[in-house]
Amino acid sequence: MQVSNIVNLGIKELRSLARDPMLLVLIVYSFTLAVYTAATAIPETLNKAPIAIVDEDRSPLSARIIGAFYPPLFMPPVLITPAEMDARMDAGLETFALDIPPGFQRDVLAGRQPAIQLNVDATRMTQAFSGSGYIQQIVTGEVNAFIQRHRGDATPPVDLALRVRFNAELNKGWFGSIVQVINQVTMLSIILTGAALIREREHGTIEHLLVMPVTPFEIMTAKIWSMALVVLVACAFSLVFVVQGLLAVPIQGSVALFLAGAALHLFATTSMGIFLGTVARSMPQFGMLLILVMVPLQMLSGGTTPRESMPEVVQDVMLAAPTTHFVALAQAILFRGAGLDVVWPQFLALVVIGVILFGLSLARFRRTIAQMS
C-alpha cells in the first residue's frame, strides 16, 4: 500500500468535483437552504393545528373554551354548525372538531359531568395524538378555572410538575435541523462516491487505473477520504453557521466530538456508496438503488419517528444501518451534552458497519469493474 497513491488519487477526486459547478451548487443548497427550510417548517410539535368548534351551548363557559384556542398551537377556531362538520372533516379542512353540547355550562355547574365530543381526523398521524392531548388539557383547564371562579375551590391536591430537559420548549426545529444535516450527509456521501464510481466505469478511467501500480484498496481509500472530507466540511459549516448561527439552536455538547462521529459515519456511508456502485451496472440502476436505500435510512433511523414506535424486528434490523447510530450519537452529544464515555457504543457500531461495508466493496471491486461495458 502506498500512502502517496491514496493522497494523489484523493486530490484528483477533489479536483474533479471542483469542475462540476452544478454539483457544487447542489451541495451548498442541501446544507444551507434545505436545512433551514426543513428546520423552520414546524417550529413546535403542535403548530397551527386547524380546529373547528360546534358551539351548541353559547354560554360564557363555551365562549371561554373557544377563546382558549389560539396560535401558535392552534389556528383560530372556525365556528361551524353540526351539519357542516362531516363535510369539513372529509375535505380535510380541520384535524379537530369539538362539539360543545347544549346546556353544557348548566350541567357542569350542576355537577352532572356532561360530555364534550372531540372528533379527531385519525389519518393525520402525529398531530391527531399530540393535539387531542392538548385539547383535553385545555378544556379541562378552562372548565376547572371557570368552576374555581364560581366556587373558589383549591388546586388539586397532587400536582404534576412537568419539566422537559434539553429542549424545554420542545422546539422541533432543533432536532429537525440536525436530522436534516444527517440526511444530507448520508445522501451526499452515497451519491458522491457511488455515482462517481459508475461514471468512471462508464468513461473507462477506472480500468486505466487498474493497469497502473495502484491497488483497489488505494483507489477506494482515496475516494473515501476525499469525498468524506468534502461532506464533513459541508456538515461542519452547516452546523456552525446554519444550525447554531442562523437557526440559533443551542448546542450542549462538543461539536468536535460530533464531527468525529460524523467522520466515522462517513466512512460507513461512503463505503456503502462504493458498494452500490459495484452492484449497479448503469447509472439508471444506481438511481433506483439509491431510492431503495435512502428511504429506509431516512425514515427508520429514528430521525423521523421515534425508534420506540417501530416493531422490534425493524428496530433490530435498523441497527445495521449507520444512520441509526449517527442519529443516536448526534442527539446525545448535541442536545444532552454527552461525552465519549456515553456515546462510545455508537462510535464502535459505526466502525464495525464501516469495516464490513468496506470489505464487501473491496471484494467486489476488481471483479465487477472488469465485467463492465
Partner 1 sequence: MTGAAEGSALPAVARLRDVGLAYGKVRAIDRVSLDLPAGRVVGLIGPDGVGKSSLLSLVAGARAVQDGTVEVLGGSMARAGHRKEVCPRIAYMPQGLGRNLYRSLSIAENLDFFGRLFGQGKAERERRIADLTASTGLAPFIDRPAGKLSGGMKQKLGLCCALIHDPDLLILDEPTTGVDPLSRRQFWDLIDRIRAGRPGMSVVVATAYMEEAARFDWLVAMDEGRVLATGSPPELLERTGTATLEDAFIGLMPEEKRRGRQPVEIVPRPEEEGGIVIEATGLTMRFGDFVAVDHVSLQIRRGEIFGFLGSNGCGKTTTMKMLTGLLQPSEGEARLFGQPVDARNIATRRQVGYMSQAFSLYSELTIRQNLELHARLFQVAEDVLPGRVAEVAERFGLADVMHALPDTLPLGQRQRLSLAVAMVHRPAMLILDEPTSGVDPIARDDFWRIMIGLARRDRVTIFVSTHFMNEAERCDRISLMHAGRVLVSDTPAGLVRQRGADTLEDAFIGYLEDAVGGHAESAAAVRENPEPAPSASLSPASPSPASTPGERAAERVFNPRRMLSYTLLEALELRRDPIRATLALVGSILLLFIMGYGISMDVEDLSFAVLDRDQTSTSRDYELDLAGSRYFVERPPIADYEDLDRRMRAGDLSLAIEIPPGFGRDVARGRAVQIGAWIDGSMPQRAETVRGYVQGMHSQWLAARTGASGLAAIEIRYRYNPDVESLKAIVPAVIPILLLLIPAMLAALSVVREKELGSIVNLYVTPVTRLEFLLGKQLPYVGLALLNFLLMIALAATVFGVPPTGNVLALCAGAVLYTMAATAMGLLMSTFMRSQIAAIFGTAIATLIPATQYSGMIDPVSSLEGVAAFIGRIYPTTHFLAISRGVFSKSLGFEDLPWSFLPLLIAIPVLIGLSAVLLKKQES
- Interacting positions 40-59 with partner 1 (CB under 8 A): 40-43, 45-50
Please, what is the minimum distance in Å from the beta carbon of residue 40 to partner 1?
5
Distance CA 52, CA 62 (A): 13
| 144 counts as binding partner 1 under rule CB under 8 A | yes
| 64 counts as binding partner 1 under rule CB under 8 A | no
| 91 counts as binding partner 1 under rule CB under 8 A | yes
Alpha-carbon dihedral sign for residues 296, 302, 307, 312: positive
Nearest by Cα to 188 from 158, 219, 232: 232
Alpha carbons within 13 A on the beta-carbon side of 74:
25
Q: Choose, by CB under 8 A, the member of 28, 84, 102, 130 that binds partner 1.
A: 130
- Cβ distance to partner 1 smaller for residue 42 or 229: 42
Site for partner 1 (CB under 8 A): how many residues? 149
Encoded one letter per residue, x for contact with partner 1 by CB under 8 A and - for no contact, window 295-334 reads xx-xxx-x-xxx-xxxx-xx---x---------x--xx--
Alpha carbons within 13 A on the beta-carbon side of 3:
0
Q: How far is CA 248 from the centre of its chain?
A: 18
Answer left, alpha or beta for residue 58, where phi above 0 means left and psi between -120 and 50 means alpha. Answer: left
Nearest by Cα to 183 from 330, 352, 309: 330
Distance CA 331, CA 308 (A): 15
Please, what is the minimum distance in Å from the beta carbon of residue 195 to partner 1?
4
Distance CA 106, CA 338 (A): 54
Applying the rule CB under 8 A, the residues between 200 and 229 that interact with partner 1 are 203-205, 207-215
- Cβ distance to partner 1 smaller for residue 34 or 357: 34
Q: Which stretch binds partner 1 (CB under 8 A): 135-143, 230-238, 240-248, 348-356?
A: 135-143
| 166 counts as binding partner 1 under rule CB under 8 A | yes
